[in-house]
């Protein structure tokens, strides 16, 4: 080999080891932008289920029943999300990750944007409900396909003493996405008359989703389309595997992993979507003002996500999840004994939201990293996606529906019991699998 050839080979190896054009900072930025866009779509639909769809799509029902119907449609995306993961893994294997992401994100953004043009029940009758449910099903399929492996790649390339820090970065997309969605809804709901808001104001956040998803797509394709990224994914064995093979090798891990995040996933909706429904249905508090309070809570939540990375690097991710799960259990007990949530006290409502977002960030910041680390490298890409899908389905998909049903029928203390059940599931799953953090790392 000539000296020039040897030099080029050495430079190429150095680029691959150093990620070439795919630096850790670039991966982190792409992950955060991508997750923010997904959660923006998620929260836009969730807030629409509270503020719009009960009157637009279910005007024949009372406000409470209409909201429960809307929450039923909200859950559909979590049912089809695993189906989307399996479908788009096949596309990934055959056509590549760039094609998969492009199709998934355009389907996600397009479905959300199409909802912006949805005629109401007064115009289409029952077909308005059918169309809304259909687009929600497509959103779930698209969310399954939006899994890109960037978070796993980021964690695998992190220094051993910084894995908690890098594991929390993708989770920042949740508070960022909520702040964007809540801010838009707060502005239009507060600035417009009720008639104008229901006529056209609510449609703007849904339409904006397409633009945000296009930006997120290019941010991710900027890395996914590079040769360095493809080589890193192959080197780290972050490639899709058949689901049957995954279940055969890691069936127990998938089941346990689906229960590990339940504390944070149950709390997820109990400080975001469900509180808005209760405020809207049973109090005189301004919804737009409460959304701004929740946005402030999301800022606290983002800070707690960052803090979870610092704590996890000191005491380990599993211990961090145990700590946060225990704190959520105590929080749920306080809600059972003396429910601060949505009484007549505005201060009590605000305290609940701020504290709840803080605990959510602390727990949610490490759930994905802990679950993904339980898989062997060659199964991590597919295993982390399907485990996350099942965890969302079990722990979060029906949370607003269950919480509103229980609280409206039996009182707010039952919301605390529901949250406690999620915390106990998390603690039990971590106790059963004591080696959750250490295996395969």
Sign of the torsion angle spanned by Cα atoms 311, 260, 352, 400: positive
Residue 343 has a pLDDT of 56
Asked whether the beta carbons of 313 and 165 are under 8 A apart, the reply is: yes
Residue with the two structure tokens 């009157």: 55
Over residues 284-289, mean pLDDT: 93
Asked whether the beta carbons of 430 and 321 are under 8 A apart, the reply is: yes
CA distances from 53 to 49, 279, 383, 395, 412 (A): 5, 16, 35, 23, 24
pLDDT bucket at 237, cuts 50 / 70 / 90: low
- Mean pLDDT, rounded, of the chain: 84
* The pLDDT of residue 180 is above 70: yes
Q: How many residues are given for the chain?
A: 441
Asked whether the beta carbons of 263 and 325 are under 8 A apart, the reply is: yes
Total H helices, total E strands in the chain = 23, 0
Over residues 203-209, mean pLDDT: 88
Degrees to nearest 5, angle at CA 365 with 364 and 368: 80
Q: Which of 81-90, 93-102, 431-440 has the lowest mean pLDDT?
A: 431-440
Over residues 146-169, mean pLDDT: 75
Asked whether the beta carbons of 48 and 120 are under 8 A apart, the reply is: no
Residue-wise pLDDT for 379-389, tens only, equals 888 888 888 88
Instruction: Say if residue 337 is exposed, middle or buried (CB neighbours under 10 Å; 0-12, 13-18, 19+).
Output: exposed
* The pLDDT of residue 52 is above 60: yes
Residue 18: how many other CB atoms lie within 10 Å: 12
The percentage of residues in the chain with a pLDDT greater than 70, rounded to a whole number, is 83
Out of 208-212, 250-254, 259-263, the most confident range is: 259-263
Asked whether the beta carbons of 270 and 329 are under 8 A apart, the reply is: no
Residue 279: name the closest of 263, 294, 262, 260 by CA: 294
Out of 157-161, 162-166, 201-205, 377-381, the most confident range is: 201-205
Over residues 32-50, mean pLDDT: 91
Residue 239: how many other CB atoms lie within 10 Å: 18
Asked whether the beta carbons of 427 and 320 are under 8 A apart, the reply is: no
pLDDT bucket at 206, cuts 50 / 70 / 90: confident
pTM of the shown model: 0.88
pLDDT bucket at 338, cuts 50 / 70 / 90: low
Residue 17 has a pLDDT of 41
Residue 278: name the closest of 198, 353, 196, 361 by CA: 353
Over residues 83-111, mean pLDDT: 88
Cα separation of the two ends of the chain: 37
Over residues 412-435, mean pLDDT: 87
Residue 435 has a pLDDT of 54
What is d(CA 70, CA 126) in angstroms, rounded to the nearest whole number? 14
Over residues 43-54, mean pLDDT: 96
Over residues 132-155, mean pLDDT: 84
Residue 209 has a pLDDT of 83
Over residues 1-17, mean pLDDT: 41
Residue 366: name the closest of 276, 295, 287, 306 by CA: 306
More confident site: 344 or 178? 178
Q: How large is the greatest C-alpha to C-alpha distance in the chain, in angstroms? A: 80
Asked whether the beta carbons of 380 and 69 are under 8 A apart, the reply is: no
Out of 17-26, 43-52, 218-227, the most confident range is: 43-52
Q: Which of 2-11, 47-56, 276-285 has the lowest mean pLDDT?
A: 2-11
> Rg of the chain's alpha carbons, rounded to an integer?
22
pLDDT bucket at 232, cuts 50 / 70 / 90: low
What is d(CA 233, CA 186) in angstroms, rounded to the nearest whole number? 41
* The pLDDT of residue 395 is above 90: no
Backbone angle region of 252, left / alpha / beta, with phi > 0 → left and psi within -120 to 50 → alpha: alpha
Close Cβ partners of 306 (under 8 Å, ≥ 6 residues apart): 168, 172, 365
Over residues 94-114, mean pLDDT: 86
* The pLDDT of residue 261 is above 80: yes
Residue 244 has a pLDDT of 86
What is d(CA 328, CA 364) in angstroms, rounded to the nearest whole number? 11
Q: Which of 62-66, 82-86, 217-221 has the lowest mean pLDDT?
A: 217-221
């Amino acid at each position: 080999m000539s000296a020039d050839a040897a030099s080029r080979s050495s430079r190429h190896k150095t680029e691959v080891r150093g990620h070439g054009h795919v630096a850790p900072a670039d991966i982190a930025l792409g992950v955060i932008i991508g997750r923010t866009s997904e959660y923006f779509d998620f929260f836009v639909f969730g807030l629409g289920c509270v503020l719009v769809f009960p009157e637009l799509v279910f005007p024949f029902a009372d406000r409470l029943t209409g909201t429960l119907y809307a929450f039923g449609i909200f859950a559909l995306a979590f049912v089809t999300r695993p189906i989307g993961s399996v479908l788009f893994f096949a596309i990934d294997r055959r056509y590549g990750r760039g094609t998969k992401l492009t199709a998934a994100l355009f389907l996600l953004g397009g479905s959300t944007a199409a909802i912006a043009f949805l005629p109401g029940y007064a115009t289409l009758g029952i077909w308005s409900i059918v169309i809304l449910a259909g687009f929600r099903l497509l959103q779930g399929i698209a969310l399954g396909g939006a899994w890109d492996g960037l978070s796993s790649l980021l964690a695998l390339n992190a220094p051993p003493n910084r894995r908690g820090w890098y594991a929390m970065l993708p989770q920042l997309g949740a508070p960022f996405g909520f702040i964007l969605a809540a801010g838009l809804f707060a502005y239009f709901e507060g600035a417009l008359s009720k008639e104008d808001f229901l006529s056209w104001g609510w449609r703007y956040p849904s339409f904006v989703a397409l633009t945000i998803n296009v930006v997120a797509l290019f941010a991710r394709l900027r890395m996914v389309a590079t040769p360095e990224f493809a080589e890193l994914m192959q080197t780290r064995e972050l490639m899709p595997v058949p689901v049957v093979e995954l279940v055969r090798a890691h069936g127990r891990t998938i089941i346990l992993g689906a229960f590990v995040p339940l504390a944070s996933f149950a709390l997820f909706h109990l400080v975001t979507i469900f509180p808005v429904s209760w405020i809207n249905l049973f109090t005189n508090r301004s919804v737009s003002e409460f959304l701004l309070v929740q946005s402030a809570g999301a800022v606290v939540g983002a800070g707690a996500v960052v803090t979870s990375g610092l704590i996890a690097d000191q005491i380990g991710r599993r211990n961090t999840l145990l700590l946060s799960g225990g704190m959520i259990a105590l929080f749920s007990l306080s809600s059972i004994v003396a429910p601060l949530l949505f009484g007549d006290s505005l201060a009590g409502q605000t305290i609940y939201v701020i504290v709840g977002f803080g605990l959510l960030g602390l727990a949610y910041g490490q759930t994905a990293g802990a679950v993904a680390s339980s898989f062997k490298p060659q199964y991590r890409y597919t295993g982390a996606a399907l485990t996350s899908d099942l965890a969302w389905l079990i722990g979060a998909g029906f949370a607003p529906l269950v919480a509103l049903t229980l609280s409206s029928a039996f009182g707010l203390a039952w919301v605390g019991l529901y949250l406690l059940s999620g915390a106990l599931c998390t603690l039990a799953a971590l106790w059963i699998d004591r080696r959750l953090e250490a295996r395969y790392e």
